[in-house]
Structures are given as C-alpha cells and as structure tokens.
C-alpha cells in the first residue's frame, strides 16, 4: 500500500501502517485517515496528538486504559471513555488512532 502526498510516495504496510515513521505529517495522517474512512476533526486531532506525545515521551504506544487516564486528566471524563474513542475511530485507539498518528503497529495488532 502507499499514499501519494504532493508527488511523494509514502509506503504503508498491507494493513495501512506507516512504514517509515519519520515520514509522518498532517497530510500523511489525513491520507491514512481517508483509508480508515475517518474525517479528522479537532476532537480526532486531540487524540492523535496525545497519542504522539505519549509515544515521544515513553517510546511505546499507550495502552487503552493508560490513554483513557491521560484523556480524562486533560479533557475530562466525557472525552476519556473507550466508547468516546470508538465513536471517533471505528477501530479504536490501537488499530485506528495510532495508525493515523503514524505510530508503530503494536505486536499482536492486525
């Protein structure tokens, strides 16, 4: 799989994960989101940016329970539940939000 972003070919895995994490950009995120049938809003970007920040600080993707705590502290209880995240990302934090955020595919994740 691949994306064409302004004439540059960005390689994705067969499942749509970014092959070279350094190629991530807003445009790449929008391309991956389109593949996931997600139109990114400010609420989506809050999750994408928090996921990227967690990865930058910890060197790994946040587990859903940990991520919910982070969201609750920053955005409140209404925006921290798994149901809320699934309402924005149909395949959830791990399979959809992290993919759009350009993070590595966790082990055991299809």
Q: Which of 3, 96, 109, 110 is catalytic?
A: 109
Q: Active site includes 109?
A: yes
Given a contact cutoff of 8 angstroms between Cβ atoms, the answer to whether 48 and 39 are in contact is no
Tokens of 74: 């920053």
Tell which residue, 36, 22, 21, 26, has the closest CA to residue 95. Answer: 36
Residues annotated as catalytic are: 109
């Amino acid at each position: 799989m691949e994306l064409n972003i302004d004439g540059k070919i960005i390689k994705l895995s067969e499942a749509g994960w970014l092959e070279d994490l350094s190629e991530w950009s807003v445009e790449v995120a929008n391309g991956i989101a389109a593949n996931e049938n997600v139109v990114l809003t400010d609420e989506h970007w809050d999750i994408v940016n928090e996921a990227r920040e967690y990865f930058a600080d910890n060197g790994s993707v946040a587990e859903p329970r940990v991520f919910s705590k982070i969201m609750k502290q920053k955005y409140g209880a209404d925006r921290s539940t798994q149901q809320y995240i699934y309402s924005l990302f149909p395949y959830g934090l791990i399979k959809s939000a992290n993919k759009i955020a350009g993070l590595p595919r966790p082990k055991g994740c299809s």
